[in-house]
Amino acid sequence: MSETRLVTTLRYKRAQILSSIATYERKLAQARAELAELAACIAHFDASGEGEDLSSYLEDSRLFEPGEMLKLCVEALITGPRTSKWLAVYVMAAKSLDTGDDALVRAMMSRIALALRRQSRRGLIRDFGKVKGSTLWSLKGPDPS
């Protein structure tokens, strides 16, 4: 009978310790998430404005002078039709941004597509539809096919 009581007590203690470990793991995960948020906040406010210091989540509207992004896109489109992704990487390289950052490339693609769509409505740029998920753009002129 004493062995049964001992085993029962040990199992109860094991369950308490497992519960404590689970609680500590949740608190540790929460602490890691808070630490990551603080690190991102510090990086955001400590950025010098140079391309290599910018994160994917930094407001990109202040990176360009008015019309500068469109000017870079038009320079690239002079050589022929280009996709939004190609233009995004081109513009990022011209501004010394990290072209390997997929989130930043997607954000830049969206911004470029918006600007070029506006120019398309004005008749300055042509939209030839999607190519592998990215819009093909060209300066106003003959069909690229």
CA separation for the pair 47, 55 (Å, rounded):
9
Q: Which residues of 51-62 are buried (b: 16+ CB within 10 A; e: fewer)?
A: beebeeebebee
CB 144 within 8 A of CB 132: no
CB 133 within 8 A of CB 71: no
Give backbone dihedrals phi and psi of 24, rounded to 5 degrees, phi first. -65, -35
If you average pLDDT over residues 7-14, what whole number do you get?
A: 93
Query: What pLDDT does residue 141 have?
Result: 62
Residue 145 has pLDDT above 50, yes or no: no
Q: Closest Cα to residue 51, out of 93, 90, 110?
A: 93
Segment holding 118, helix H or strand E:
helix 102-122
pLDDT in tens, 112-137: 888 888 888 887 887 777 777 777 78
pLDDT in tens, 52-85: 555 555 555 667 788 888 888 888 888 888 888 8
